[in-house]
Amino acid sequence: MDKPLRIAIAGLGTVGTGVIRLLETNRDLLTARAGREIEVTAVSARDRNRNRGVDLSRYAWEDDMTALAAREDVDLVVELVGGSDGPALALARASLGAGKHFVTANKAMIAHHGIALAKTAEAHEAALKFEAAVAGGIPVVKGLREGTSANALERIYGILNGTCNYILSKMEDTGADFGEILAEAQAKGFAEADPTFDIQGIDAAHKLAILAAIGFGARIDFDAVRTTGITQVKAADIAQADALGFVIRLIAMADTETGEDGRTRLLQRVRPCLVPKDHPLASVDGPTNAVVAEGNFSGRLLFQGAGAGDGPTASAVVADIIDIAREEIGAPFSIPVAGLEPMPPVEPGHRMERTYLRFTVTDRPGVLAEITAAMRDAGVSIESLIQKGRADDGGEVLVAMVTHEGPERCIKEALDLLDGSESLTDAPLVLPILRD
Amino acid sequence: MDKPLRIAIAGLGTVGTGVIRLLETNRDLLTARAGREIEVTAVSARDRNRNRGVDLSRYAWEDDMTALAAREDVDLVVELVGGSDGPALALARASLGAGKHFVTANKAMIAHHGIALAKTAEAHEAALKFEAAVAGGIPVVKGLREGTSANALERIYGILNGTCNYILSKMEDTGADFGEILAEAQAKGFAEADPTFDIQGIDAAHKLAILAAIGFGARIDFDAVRTTGITQVKAADIAQADALGFVIRLIAMADTETGEDGRTRLLQRVRPCLVPKDHPLASVDGPTNAVVAEGNFSGRLLFQGAGAGDGPTASAVVADIIDIAREEIGAPFSIPVAGLEPMPPVEPGHRMERTYLRFTVTDRPGVLAEITAAMRDAGVSIESLIQKGRADDGGEVLVAMVTHEGPERCIKEALDLLDGSESLTDAPLVLPILRD
Considering Cα of B108, then B113, then B114, then B120, what sign does the dihedral take? negative
Which among A138, A150, A301 is the nearest to B26, CB-wise? A150
**Cα distances (angstroms) measured from residue B292 to each of A320, B219, B221, B301:** 21, 21, 20, 6
Give the list of residues 6+ apart from residue A231 with CB closer than 8 angstroms, or none.
A178, A199, A200
On the question of pLDDT at B427 being above 70, the answer is yes
- Whose CA is closest to A342, among A436, A175, A216, A255? A216
Q: List pLDDT tens digits, range A197-236.
A: 999 999 999 999 999 999 999 999 999 999 999 999 999 9
Q: List pLDDT tens digits, range A78-114.
A: 999 999 999 999 999 999 999 999 999 999 999 999 9
B83: left (phi over 0), alpha (psi -120 to 50) or beta: left
Within 13 Å of residue A185, how many CA atoms lie on the same side as its CB? Answer: 27
Q: How far apart are CA A328 and CA B75, in angstroms?
A: 19
How many residues make up chain A in this entry? 436
Helix/strand/coil for B181: helix
* Own/partner long-range contacts of B186-192 (Cβ < 8 Å, ≥24 apart): B190/B162, B190/B163, B190/B166, B190/B287, B191/B163, B191/B166, B191/B167, B192/B163
- Output the DSSP codes for A142-197: HIIIIITTTS-EEEEEEE--HHHHHHHHHHHHH---HHHHHHHHHHHTSS-SS-HH
Please tell me the predicted confidence (pLDDT) of residue B69.
Answer: 98
Confidence of residue B395 (pLDDT cuts 50, 70, 90): low
Q: How much helix, strand and coil, in percent to the nearest 5, is found in chain A?
A: 40, 25, 35
A69-108 b/e with 16+ CB inside 10 Å = b? bebeebbbbbbbbbebeebbbebbbbbbbbebbbbbbbbb
Give the list of residues 6+ apart from residue B402 with CB closer than 8 angstroms, or none.
B244, B354, B355, B356, B357, B382, B383, B384, B385, B433
Q: How far apart are CA B145 and CA B264, in angstroms?
A: 20
On the question of pLDDT at B364 being above 90, the answer is no
Confidence of residue A75 (pLDDT cuts 50, 70, 90): very high
Helix/strand/coil for B327: coil
Instruction: Confirm if B303 and A280 have CB atoms less than 8 A apart.
Output: no
Which residues of B are known catalytic residues? 207
Q: List pLDDT tens digits, range B202-225.
A: 999 999 999 999 999 999 999 999
Please tell me the predicted confidence (pLDDT) of residue A303.
Answer: 98
**B298 and A312: CB-CB below 8 Å?**
yes
Helix/strand/coil for A138: coil
Alpha-carbon gap: A325 to the closest alpha carbon of chain B (Å): 11
Instruction: Confirm if A141 and A149 have CB atoms less than 8 A apart.
Output: no
Which among A137, A146, A321 is the nearest to B299, CB-wise? A137
**A299 and B312: CB-CB below 8 Å?**
yes
How many residues make up chain B in this entry? 436
Q: List pLDDT tens digits, range B153-190.
A: 999 999 999 999 999 999 999 999 999 999 999 998 88
Instruction: Confirm if B14 and B21 have CB atoms less than 8 A apart.
Output: no
Confidence of residue B388 (pLDDT cuts 50, 70, 90): confident
Confidence of residue A363 (pLDDT cuts 50, 70, 90): confident
Confidence of residue B363 (pLDDT cuts 50, 70, 90): confident
Edge-first strand listing for the sheet containing B5-10: B60-61, B38-44, B5-10, B76-79, B101-104, B128-129
Query: What CATH number was assigned to the domain covering residues A349-432?
Result: 3.30.70.260
B219 in contact with A, Cβ within 8 Å: no
Alpha-carbon gap: A357 to the closest alpha carbon of chain B (Å): 29
Tell me the residues of chain A between 331 and 370 that have a Cβ less than 8 Å away from chain B.
Answer: 331, 334-336, 339
Mean pLDDT, chain A, rounded, equals 95
Which residue among A207, A234, A277, A412 is the active-site one? Answer: A207
Q: Identify the CATH homologous superfamily for domain B142-307+340-348.
A: Dihydrodipicolinate Reductase; domain 2 (3.30.360.10)
Residue ranges covered by each domain of chain B: 5-133, 142-307+340-348, 349-432
Q: How far apart are CA B61 and CA A99, in angstroms?
A: 47
Alpha-carbon gap: B398 to the closest alpha carbon of chain A (Å): 32
Pick the CATH number of B5-133 from 3.20.20.70, 3.40.190.10, 3.30.379.10, 3.40.50.720: 3.40.50.720
Best mutation target among B297, B329, B340 (most A Cβ atoms within 10 Å) is B297
Q: Which residues of A touch B35 (CB under 8 A)?
A: 331, 335-336
CA angle B157, B162, B167 (to 5 degrees): 110
Which among A34, A138, A311 is the nearest to B297, CB-wise? A311
ipTM for the predicted complex = 0.96
Q: How far apart are CA A241 and CA A248, in angstroms?
A: 7
Mean pLDDT, rounded, for B263-285: 96
On the question of pLDDT at A241 being above 70, the answer is yes
Instruction: Confirm if A131 and A317 have CB atoms less than 8 A apart.
Output: yes
Edge-first strand listing for the sheet containing A38-44: A60-61, A38-44, A5-10, A76-79, A101-104, A128-129
Best mutation target among A30, A146, A288 (most B Cβ atoms within 10 Å) is A146
- Whose CA is closest to A429, among A390, A397, A400? A400
% of chain A beyond a pLDDT of 90: 90
**A152 and B26: CB-CB below 8 Å?**
yes
Alpha-carbon gap: A242 to the closest alpha carbon of chain B (Å): 17
Burial class (CB in 10 A: 0-12, 13-18, 19+), A384: exposed
Tell me the residues of chain A between 267 and 326 that have a Cβ less than 8 Å away from chain B.
Answer: 278, 280, 283, 290, 295-306, 309, 311-312, 314-319, 321-323, 326
CA-based radius of gyration for chain B:
24
Where does B195-246 have alpha helices with state H? 196-199, 202-216, 235-244
What type of residue sits at position A122? E
Where does A37-85 have alpha helices with state H? none
Helix/strand/coil for A39: strand
Same fold, A151-306 and A349-432: no
Q: How far apart are CA A347 and CA A354, in angstroms?
A: 17
On the question of pLDDT at B392 being above 70, the answer is no
Euclidean distance between the first and final Cα of chain B, in Å? 49
Looking at the domain A151-306, which fold is it?
A: Dihydrodipicolinate Reductase; domain 2 (3.30.360)
Which among A149, A283, A319 is the nearest to B280, CB-wise? A283
**B302 and A300: CB-CB below 8 Å?**
no
- Whose CA is closest to B90, among A181, B81, A374? B81
Best mutation target among A33, A300, A320, A333 (most B Cβ atoms within 10 Å) is A33
Q: How far apart are CA A383 and CA A371, in angstroms?
A: 14
